A and B are shown apart, each in its own frame.
Chain A
Amino acid sequence: MEKVVFGFFVLLAATLNFGFFLGDLSDPAKHNVYELFAAVVVSLIATVLKFGDRTQIGAVHLATSLVADLQLIAASVSWAYATQISSAGLDEKATASVVSLSGGALLANLVSVVLLVIETVSFHRR
């Protein structure tokens, strides 16, 4: 059961991130802010789930997760800056920076998924 929850959140974090990233880089209409919000939340949960695992692969999991968090939070902050503070609003440039930051997080999330797959495969071999 623990493995199911763990795999679920890791995958969900990656898919949500992917969904947000998908579409024209600089078009605000193609990127839903709720999807970004969900991606941040799920990514945080996935990070907490990885706490306290002392194996080598567990440590790498945690590291990739932290990278994804950092990227997503940076994306959220730049989105908040664009919508609330900047006079220009959510223009193409701001959208591009938000989406590209989330793209970085996507890469980290993909590594997480790869790790998950490796873990599963090596577990079966034993």
Chain B
Amino acid sequence: MNRRRVVLGPSTETSSTIFLVLRRMRAPLIVLIVIFAVSVFGLTLIPGRDAAGHSVRMSVFDAFYFMSYTATTIGYGELPHPFTAAQRMWVMFAIYLTVIGWAYGIGSLLTLVQDRTFRQALALQRFTRTVARLREPFLLMVGFGQTGRLLAERLDLIGRRLVVLDTASGNIDSLDIGAYHADVPALVADVQDPRMLAVAGLEQPWCEGVLALTDDDETNLLVSMTAALVRPELPVVARTVSPAIEHRMLAVGSPVVVNPFDRFGDHVRLALHAPASYRLMSWLMSGPDVELPEPERPPTTGRWVVCGYGRFGRELVEDLREGGLELTVIDPHAREEPGFTLVVGDASDPDVLARAELADAVGFVAGTANDTTNLSLVAAARRINPGLYVTARQNRPDNAPLFAAMEIDWLLVPAEVVTREIYAQLSTPLLWRFLQDMPAQGDEWAARIIDKLFDHCGTRLGTLWKVAFNPQDTPALLHWLNAGEARLGDLINDPYDRSRTLPAVPLLLLRGDDVTLGPDGDVTLAPGDQILFAGEPSARRALLETMTDRTVSEYVLSGRVVPSGWLWQRMTGRRSAAR
């Protein structure tokens, strides 16, 4: 379908600052003019006396001159002749009058500078200008709450530019405190207004994606729809906790919808079935330079007790049930459904908790929307059965130390789940492909990859990067690729000593639309292939040298040392096979 492109048009508010100043200054300026006029006029009417004693009137020019230096508090004295008593009386009156006028004028100007509307107009103007001047790809982030902040920090670390919109000024102010490498233009604005998205650069060619991360599902829906209508080709990531909204989001355009509860349920299911796959996934998703996480070992047989059957509880119960676990749900409002035993009541009531028979359960989930309740539930459950595997939901980031002190076995932080998810999608698109296809490879395979990563890179995952084999990115490898015998294993030799292997592990090979996960050293590469590597940043630099420098690549691939200078090549008669 050839849809007409929607143009939001520039916001008219951007040019309003100067008009606002002028309009607000109308009254004070008129007062000043009138005061000056009255004072000057009065001075010209009152007769004075010159040195010779003749009665003279001040000219309009002299009067204006006198009022100018008197009103501005400079005060040269009584010119051109010393004043008479009548003149002095009038001048006294004029002085007080002008002081009032100036005070009123300057006061109005200062009030205007303090004024909220004026400051907003100024901020909008500055923001519009900054965004319009951006000359590198940027992501438009709508909503800068916990999730936004976490994600912004990580994206900033890998050098992505951001433009931020949020309704709450507190969220935007937190940008000033945060330490970001790049300047992040931000504006407090009504994000439900599509024109604000235009101001934030939605229509700019440099905008490379839209992230809808507000706490309000409706807003995220609106942002996602606006982006899909205005720029259908842009990738959109939207956060929601409601399946209904998710459905509506997918109706317009093709945004990537991230539902933290749903994803956590998926993780739980994966961790139950394939602990190693889950471990590998969480390692790769955590971002650069992260320790290998401890393996999660949730009990896979026995009965689990879930407190809270809201959106989160529902998703989790479904996934646990599919994992083949027995379930008991405690909730004051839930209704009986097949698949689990229901205990109706408030879980913080000891009697209700007793009815759930925690003593012979294996797992416990504190999944209410209240952190205090969750913490006390965990404590109560542990008192009944110390051996329980405890999962808890942490809603507010400030409570992290409390949850850490409780030593929860598996903690769900919704903001963290969304952040990881979106980071994995945005940082390296191939990683997302890898994570999608990885669970199908089985647990054993995942465990092997973890071991391989561990052997090559240690417990810290350095970085993930993509290599595309094409004439632009890998000019030094062309002849090798075209020869048809390009073993991947030869490529990851150390340029300083080719008997050693670089600390880099190929995770995924993309050829056309075919994906090979965990390609081994014997895979033959062809032009156009893309490979996702994991490894040390030093390995990345070494590989870059191999790919771009013919002398290095010749040594790494075949062991031959080729002179790099033109003269030496001529003299030795040895040249690279590339020529």
Report if A123 contacts B (CB, 8 A). no
Chain A 5-47 interface residues, beta-carbon cutoff 8 Å to B: 33-34, 37-38, 41, 44-45
A residues near B19, Cβ cutoff 8 Å: 52, 54
Interface SS of chain A: helix, strand, loop or mixed? helix
Closest to B29 in A: A48
Knowing A84-B59, A84-B61 are in contact, say whether A49-B30 is a contact too (CB < 8 A).
yes
Partner of A49, one of B24, B26, B34: B26
Q: CB distance B60 to A51 under 8 Å?
A: no
Does A83 make an interface contact (CB < 8 A)? yes
In the bound complex, residues from chain B placing their C-beta under 8 Å from that of A51 are 22-23, 25-26, 29
Q: Is residue B20 within 8 Å, beta carbon to beta carbon, of the partner chain?
A: yes
List the A side residues contacting B102 at CB < 8 Å.
none
| Min CB gap A84→B, angstroms | 6
Contacts between the two chains (Cβ within 8 Å), count: 46
Is B41 a contact of A45 with CB atoms below 8 Å?
no
Cβ-defined contact, A48 with B30, below 8 A: yes
Interface footprint category on B: 20 to 34
**A33–B33 touching, CB < 8 Å:** no
Shortest CB-to-CB span from A2 to chain B, Å, is: 10
Complex contact B61–A80 (CB within 8 A):
yes
B contact patch SS: helix
Per-position 1/0 for B32-64, Cβ under 8 A of A: 011011001100100000000000000111100
Closest to B61 in A: A80
Given contacts A34-B60, A84-B59, contact A41 B22 (CB under 8 A): no
B467 to chain A minimum Cβ distance, whole angstroms, is 55
Mask for A38-69, Cβ within 8 A of B = 1, else 0?
A: 10010011001101101000000000000000
List chain A residues, Cβ under 8 A from B44: 34
Contact call A83/B34, Cβ cutoff below 8 A: no
Contacts of A54 in B (CB 8 A): 16, 19
How far does the alpha carbon of A38 sit from the alpha carbon of B60 in the complex, in Å?
Answer: 11
Report the separation of the CA atoms of residues A15 and B41 in the bound assembly, to the nearest whole angstrom.
19
Closest residue of chain A to B23 (Cβ to Cβ) is A52
Give A44 to B40 CA distance when docked, in angstroms.
15
Chain A, residue nearest B18 (CB): A52
> For the complex, what is the distance from the CA of A79 to the CA of B62, rounded to whole Å?
12
A41 in contact with B23 (CB, 8 Å): no
**A37 surroundings in chain B (CB, below 8 A):** 37, 40-41, 60
Q: Which residues of B contact A44 (CB under 8 A)?
A: 33
Report 22 cross-chain contacts, Cβ distance below 8 Å, ordered by A residue: A33-B60, A34-B41, A34-B44, A37-B41, A37-B60, A41-B36, A41-B37, A44-B33, A48-B30, A48-B33, A49-B26, A49-B30, A51-B25, A51-B26, A52-B19, A52-B26, A54-B16, A54-B19, A79-B61, A80-B61, A83-B59, A84-B62
